[in-house]
Amino acid sequence: MIFLWAFGTPMLILNTLESSTDLLEKRSSTYSDRLETEMVALMGWGWNFVTMGYSQWWRRHRRGFHQYFNAAAVPAYEPKIHASAHKLLQRLLKDPKKFANHLRYQFGANILDVVYGIEAAEQDDEHILIAEKAMEGLAIGFNPGAFWVDFLPILKYVPAWMPGAGFQKKAADWKISVMATKELAWAHAARDNVDASIAANIAERISHLEGKELAEEMDVAKNVCGVAYAAGIDTTVSTLHSFFLAMLLYPEVQKRAQQQLADVVGPRRLPEFSDQASLPYIEAVCKESMRWQPVVPLNAPHRSMEDDEYHGYFIPKGTLVIQNTWAILHDPEQYPDPEEFMPERFLKDGELNAAIRDPGVAAFGAGRRTCPGRHFSDLTLFMNIACILHTFNVTPALDAEGKPMKVEPRMQTAILSHPYPFECIIRPRSPLAETLILGQKHTRA
Ligand code: HEM
């Protein structure tokens, strides 16, 4: 554990799963608050329950979200996830050089479809562009202390034209996209029947309400949909991006995974969710992608709501408690050679080994704030990785002399971590694989 004061704010960094479980999980009634920063509020993100303080209002949102994203609910989205993974293959075939853009765009299209039943435009969809812009602001503004106004709240009254008040202009600019993320897709949601979208289902469920009650529930509904959409657009996609990086650096892993897909699925169809239990190596690749480059390396900070004591140390009320997910998932005792990408570490005799710690215990955070989108994320990651490996070879790009270019596993530092841009070659594995990519009909993003 490391304790420090940063500009008057106490911070506690938890470097082990044990300390994180002890505090964030076992004492979750004390450690489930968030720091609601001035900048996040100025950007208009107050409706986002990821950044909300621990309150009755947050609980209502969390409950609303859970109803549509719990383990029993998400299988309903499998057909849309499968169709989206197939669409991604087609994008990769058409224009492989822009693979990173395709990943982002297609994940945006998928969650837009699941939440609002909206079929995204082939490119430059207005909803996706707006959400991307809104998330850009959150990625910067959610870092406590990224802006001076977080330390000196009085600065929020400084007018935008004053020298040094550039944050006001930035916040106002982001706010347009943040509010549009909540309102626009909701207004355009497919409502032909209750199964058309999550938005349609919620709207139907609350339609008997009236007056203030209806207005409040409607607000919660819009917020829950907006958060699902915004959180879904920028998270799992980072893991998939890291997976591409791993495939370049560990070609033998790619071969082994492709062999299992060939044995189980065969060359004449794409993988299905019903294959999942027979594809332990693909599951291990998914787990290792989550572990190797965690998407939220320092978790989302929790805030303590009371003075506390742990192992004789005093933890003052208002401490920002940061789970060091990176350290937990790179603990050499749990994961020998932690810097290496080794899906085999999760297997024993070819099957998943339950004795190895699942990276999900830390990658998705802890306690009452633990990621409620994890079941949806697990499904999308599996289907996309299985479909990509089944149909494509991912190899290093070549330099001017035709030699494979070296790639370093380097990640950008931000609350959500993404790999630095890199190039690669993505080619169909065979003419049959190409027909599979082109051939199968799909109706939705
Ligand atoms: C690889 C994929 C993902 C990772 C690694 C991830 C990770 C996380 C983490 C670390 C947190 C903070 C937990 C904490 O405070 O202890 C979180 C919160 C959250 N995540 Fe995810 N997430 C992923 C995908 C998703 C998806 C796809 C959705 C939506 C469909 C989602 C929705 C949320 C929401 C709503 C919260 C806020 C929970 C709260 O504050 O009560 N996440 N996620």
Tell me how far the alpha carbon of residue 148 lies from the centroid of ligand 1, in angstroms.
27
> Which neighbouring-strand residues pair with 404?
398
Is the pLDDT assigned to residue 165 strictly greater than 70?
no
Band the pLDDT of 414: cuts 50, 70, 90: confident
Is the pLDDT assigned to residue 142 strictly greater than 80?
no
Beta-carbon contacts of residue 207 (< 8 Å; ≥ 6 apart): none
- DSSP H or E segment with residue 14: strand 9-14
pLDDT at res. 42? 86
Band the pLDDT of 443: cuts 50, 70, 90: very low
Q: Report whether residue 236 contacts ligand 1, using a CB cutoff of 6 Å.
A: yes
Cβ–Cβ under 8 Å, residues 117 and 199: yes
Q: What is the atom index within ligand 1 of the atom nearest the CA of 62?
A: 41
Is 371 assigned to a binding site? yes
Band the pLDDT of 92: cuts 50, 70, 90: very high
Q: What is the atom index within ligand 1 of the atom nearest the CA of 296?
A: 10
Distance CA 320, CA 322 (A): 6
pLDDT at res. 442? 47
Give me the domains of the chain, ranges plus CATH numbers: 2-439 (1.10.630.10)
The region of weakest confidence among 151-155, 252-256, 426-430 is 151-155
Q: In the 8-state DSSP scheme, what is residue 252?
A: H
Q: What percent of the chain lies above the pLDDT cut of 70?
A: 95
Band the pLDDT of 334: cuts 50, 70, 90: very high
Q: Report whether residue 299 contacts ligand 1, using a CB cutoff of 6 Å.
A: yes
Of 58, 15, 22, 23, residue with least CA distance to 372: 58
Tell me how far the alpha carbon of residue 294 lies from the centroid of ligand 1, in angstroms.
12
Q: Whose CA is nearest to atom 2 of ligand 1?
A: 236
> Which neighbouring-strand residues pair with 398?
404
Which pLDDT tens digit goes with each residue over 104-126? 999 999 999 999 999 999 989 99
Is the pLDDT assigned to residue 189 strictly greater than 50?
yes
Which pLDDT tens digit goes with each residue over 194-221? 888 999 999 999 999 999 999 999 999 9
Q: Report whether residue 303 contacts ligand 1, using a CB cutoff of 6 Å.
A: no
pLDDT: which is higher, 383 or 9: 383
Tell me how far the alpha carbon of residue 236 lies from the centroid of ligand 1, in angstroms.
10
Q: What is the atom index within ligand 1 of the atom nearest the CA of 323?
A: 16
Q: Report whether residue 377 contacts ligand 1, using a CB cutoff of 6 Å.
A: yes
The region of weakest confidence among 223-227, 340-344, 377-381, 439-443 is 439-443
Q: Report whether residue 87 contacts ligand 1, using a CB cutoff of 6 Å.
A: no
pLDDT at res. 351? 97
pLDDT at res. 421? 94
Cα distances (Å, whole numbers) of residue 47 to 15, 41, 108, 361: 31, 9, 20, 27
Cα distances (Å, whole numbers) of residue 37 to 56, 145, 149, 301: 19, 8, 9, 12
Tell me how far the alpha carbon of residue 50 lies from the centroid of ligand 1, in angstroms.
8
Cα distances (Å, whole numbers) of residue 445 to 106, 118, 119, 204, 376: 7, 9, 6, 24, 16
Q: Report whether residue 385 contacts ligand 1, using a CB cutoff of 6 Å.
A: no
pLDDT at res. 194? 80
Q: Whose CA is nearest to atom 17 of ligand 1?
A: 371
> Which neighbouring-strand residues pair with 309?
314
pLDDT: which is higher, 192 or 88: 88
pLDDT: which is higher, 145 or 279: 279
Tell me how far the alpha carbon of residue 400 lies from the centroid of ligand 1, in angstroms.
42
Instruction: Give phi and psi for 9, each to the nearest 5.
Output: -105, 125
C-alpha atoms less than 13 angstroms from C-alpha of 420 in its C-beta half-sphere: 7
pLDDT at res. 40? 83
